[in-house]
Amino acid sequence: MPNVIIDCLEGRTVEQKRQMVKRVTEAIVQTLDCSPEAVQIIIHEIRDDQLARGGVLRLDQKK
Amino acid sequence: MPNVIIDCLEGRTVEQKRQMVKRVTEAIVQTLDCSPEAVQIIIHEIRDDQLARGGVLRLDQKK
Amino acid sequence: MPNVIIDCLEGRTVEQKRQMVKRVTEAIVQTLDCSPEAVQIIIHEIRDDQLARGGVLRLDQKK
Amino acid sequence: MPNVIIDCLEGRTVEQKRQMVKRVTEAIVQTLDCSPEAVQIIIHEIRDDQLARGGVLRLDQKK
Amino acid sequence: MPNVIIDCLEGRTVEQKRQMVKRVTEAIVQTLDCSPEAVQIIIHEIRDDQLARGGVLRLDQKK
Amino acid sequence: MPNVIIDCLEGRTVEQKRQMVKRVTEAIVQTLDCSPEAVQIIIHEIRDDQLARGGVLRLDQKK
């Protein structure tokens, strides 16, 4: 705790995720006053037919 | 916001998901009085060995 | 299953939630081809200091 | 309800998951005083580049 | 990891929750072969106007 | 999308949350290459009798 679940579109590289978890953990440690070890981050990578906004799949928004 | 996360068994077609996000967004817009753009829907598709009810995997319930 | 978790701002009436779960369940049943009893909806009602977009709390977006 | 979402590293066998949902359901039924049928368990299996603690991906912690 | 999020109706005592997290952690440790310290459990306690099945709020199912 | 759900212990000030969402959004924008507007953050604030690690409630770990 804090526990962070990030849903994002698939396609990011491991290096992008590496930098992201490092920077997000720093941001939380420095603002919520907790230890780095306390911060757990779980990434759910989803496809563009599994995400919608305004009633339209992301898949269809790109056409 | 509203943010909707739907966990459902894999196997639905893109067309089923297309219709589902459209209809769910309409339902939320018309009852919670928000704009369509405000409604985000994330779909987690899971396998029948990743779902259980009554202590039994869905995989085993179908035998 | 399908399991639906809806995070939305607090302040809706019970009647709005009553209509919302009815309409969302209908939408899912008619598009994902499942029974009404299979659809579970969980509502997380959050405050405007617990939601942010673009790096700004909803609380501060309303000023 | 109770609804249980378990995020865990991929790689467990179906038999491990079979035993896990059985035992977790028993634990919840016997302590929260509900029926087995009321307990739904959803398993999200994630990779070691989708999990981080202390700002480091699990992938990099194993090196 | 494993990370467990349990949504359940409010009203359980602290003692029930104390026993539940103990027993669920034991169940996961003994079946998924991980350490007790690795298991994090988060409990979301919700009201009966925040839960629905079959399109009906739990609040209305009790009448 | 990206959608971020942060479960953390209650007790942080609005100012802490204000800084946290700002810094976490910057971290995600600069590493996952998306716009600030795309990043939604939802904060679930929980009590120490709703969180456990190693089978022990946080409430009991502080004694």
Look up the ipTM and state it.
0.97
CATH placement of domain D3-61: 3.30.429.10
CA distance E14 to chain D (A): 11
Question: Given E5, E18, E26, which is nearest F57 (Cβ)?
Answer: E18
CB atoms F14 and C46 under 8 Å: no
Sign of CA dihedral B34, C3, F50, C19: positive
E62 confidence band (pLDDT: 50, 70, 90): confident
**Which residue in chain D is spatially nearest to E39 when comparing CA positions?**
D8
Q: Search chain C and give the residue with CA nearest E44.
A: C44
Partner residues linked to B5 by β-bridges: B42, C5
In this prediction, the residues of chain B whose per-residue pLDDT falls under 50 are none
The H-or-E segment that residue D45 falls in is: strand D40-46
Contact E16, D28 (CB under 8 A): no
Between CA F18 and CA F34 the distance in angstroms is 20
With CA atoms as reference, the chain F residue closest to E10 would be F50
Handedness of CA E47, E50, E52, E56 (dihedral sign): positive
Determine contact: B6 vs chain D, CB below 8 A.
no
**Residue D23: per-residue pLDDT:** 98
The count of CB pairs under 8 A between chains E and F is: 46
Is some CB atom of chain E closer than 8 A to the CB atom of C42? yes
F28 vs F33: CA distance, rounded Å: 7
Nearest to D20 by CA among E23, F55, E31, E40: E31
Contact with chain A for residue B2, Cβ under 8 A: no
Return all residues near C29 (Cβ < 8 A) that are at least 6 apart. Answer: C35, C36, C39
Per-residue pLDDT tens for B27-42? 999 999 999 999 999 9
Can you read off the two tokens belonging to residue E51?
């839960």
Residue B2 is among the residues annotated as catalytic for this protein: yes
How far is the C-alpha of C39 from the C-alpha of F25, rounded, in Å? Answer: 33
**Nearest C-alpha neighbor of E29 from the set B44, D50, F52:** F52
Query: In chain A, whose CA is at the least distance from the CA of F38?
Result: A8
- Mean pLDDT along residues A31-48: 97
D44 touches chain B (CB under 8 A): yes
Q: Say whether residue E42 is in contact with chain A using an 8 A CB cutoff.
A: yes
Judged by a CB distance cut-off of 8 A, whether residue B57 touches chain D is: yes
DSSP C3-61: EEEEEEES---HHHHHHHHHHHHHHHHHHHT--GGG-EEEEEEE-TTSEEETTEEHHHH
Q: Compute the residue count for chain A.
A: 63
Chain D residues with beta carbon closer than 8 angstroms to that of C1: 40, 42
pLDDT tens by residue, C21-53: 999 999 999 999 999 999 999 999 999 999 999
> For residue B6, what is the enclosing H or E element?
strand B3-9
> How large is the average pLDDT for residues D15-39?
98
Which among E1, E12, E50 is the top mutation candidate for probing chain D, defined by the most D β-carbons within 10 Å of its own β-carbon? E1
- What is the spatial distance between Cα C28 and Cα C39, in angstroms, rounded to a whole number? 8
Q: Does A40 touch chain E (CB under 8 A)?
A: yes
Contact indicator for F22, F58 with CB cutoff of 8 Å:
no
Q: Which whole number is the average pLDDT over E37-54?
A: 98
- If you average pLDDT over residues F10-38, what whole number do you get? 98
Q: Measured between beta carbons, which residues in chain E are less than 8 angstroms from residue D4?
A: 4-6
CA torsion, ordered B6, B12, B14, B15, to nearest 10 deg:
-100
Chain B residues with CB under 8 Å of F42 CB are 1, 3
Q: Identify the residue with better confidence: F62 or B2.
A: B2
pLDDT for C62 beyond 80: no
